[in-house]
């Protein structure tokens, strides 16, 4: 099934983001919160008007999530930081932080733990890891040997965690222990053919459908039970991530990038780096916030 003509993507924020990423809906303020990793910017966008406030961060910012106690927690280049309640403040520096590495994507699980993964700037195979920031403010390295840590999502019963390492061209499913945050058996769920692009950011809808942004694929795909169910074509080749938002969680917001496009490609893609919105006919699930003790 292909997105209906009336659901063609519309631009919410003008193009130009270097590496737009990590959208998340913040119901507290009715805004989409997203980042431009390489510009060191966090954005808070009103989806109705497109009006956007921005917060500059001291390091490259890979992901941000609402914090239950107020403000946000972000995965910056070297670890986890508090953002939005005064000056950015470091919370936990990860054990393998170094100049050649950065955080790339992240999300909270249903219990309020913040998961975020790293990658090397040069995309060196296996150099990255996946971390979990627990309620006590300490981060644990949960998965090693990751190349490009990307999208995450959890099933409605919180027994399965979905994860993307873009270099594998797969969406994998882990058995998940919601009480402890431990990962169990890993299995491949979806293989994305290289000619379709690289699987990047991910979100889940209330029917269990997984929505995957395809870097170099000019599309967002929806998978049900591992099978392609719906495709949203985009006027840009580098969509990066997606998230449901809006008052009824029926709007899908899609980030995109300009970084990596040639001069010719930039000319051919005037909307590259925009934040898009589409109404795909399903609803998302409320995103979890980071909860601390």
Residues known to be catalytic: 200
User: Which run of H or of E encompasses 272?
Assistant: none
CB of 218 within 8 A of CB of 265?
Answer: no
DSSP assignment letter at 265: H
Contacts by residues 234-237 (CB-CB < 8 Å, ≥ 24 positions apart): 234/9, 234/276, 235/9, 235/269, 235/271, 236/15, 236/269, 236/271, 236/272, 236/273, 236/274, 237/261, 237/265, 237/269, 237/272
Report d(CA 22, CA 149) in Å as an integer: 12
The closest alpha carbon to 63, from 89, 90, 35, belongs to 35
CB of 286 within 8 A of CB of 11?
Answer: no
With 0-12 / 13-18 / 19 or more C-beta atoms within 10 angstroms meaning exposed / middle / buried, residue 6 is exposed
Sheet holding 219-224, edge to edge: 198-204, 210-215, 219-224, 227-233
Structure tokens at 103: 């955080």
CB of 76 within 8 A of CB of 38?
Answer: no
Neighbours of 265 (CB within 10 A): 14
CB of 22 within 8 A of CB of 63?
Answer: yes
Distances from the Cα of 193 to the Cαs of 53, 97, 162, 167, 202, in angstroms? 38, 32, 18, 12, 17
CB of 238 within 8 A of CB of 258?
Answer: yes
């Amino acid at each position: 099934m292909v997105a209906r003509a009336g659901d063609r993507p519309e631009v919410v924020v003008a193009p130009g983001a270097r590496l737009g990423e990590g959208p998340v809906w913040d119901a507290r303020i009715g805004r989409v919160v997203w980042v431009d990793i390489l510009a060191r910017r966090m954005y808070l966008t009103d989806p109705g008007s497109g009006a956007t406030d921005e917060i500059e961060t001291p390091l490259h910012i890979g992901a941000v999530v609402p914090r239950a106690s107020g403000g946000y927690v972000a995965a910056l280049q070297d670890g986890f930081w508090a953002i939005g309640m005064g000056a950015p403040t470091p919370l936990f520096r990860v054990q393998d932080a170094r100049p050649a590495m950065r955080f790339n994507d992240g999300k909270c699980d249903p219990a309020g733990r913040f998961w975020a993964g790293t990658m090397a700037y040069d995309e060196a195979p296996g150099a990255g890891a996946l971390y979990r920031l627990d309620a006590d403010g300490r981060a644990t390295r949960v998965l090693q040997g990751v190349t490009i840590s990307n999208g995450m999502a959890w099933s409605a019963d919180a027994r399965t965690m979905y994860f993307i390492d873009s270099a594998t061209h797969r969406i994998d499913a882990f058995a998940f222990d919601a009480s402890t945050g431990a990962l169990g058996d890993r299995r491949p769920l979806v293989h994305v053919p290289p000619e379709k692009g690289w699987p990047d950011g991910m979100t889940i809808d209330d029917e269990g459908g997984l929505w995957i942004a395809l870097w170099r694929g000019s599309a967002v795909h929806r998978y049900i039970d591992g099978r392609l169910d719906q495709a949203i074509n985009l006027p840009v080749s580098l969509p990066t991530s997606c998230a449901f938002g809006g008052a009824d969680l029926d709007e899908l917001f899609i980030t995109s990038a300009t970084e990596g496009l040639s001069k010719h490609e930039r000319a051919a893609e005037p909307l590259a780096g925009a934040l898009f919105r589409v109404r795909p006919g399903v609803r998302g699930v409320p995103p979890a916030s980071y909860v601390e003790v």
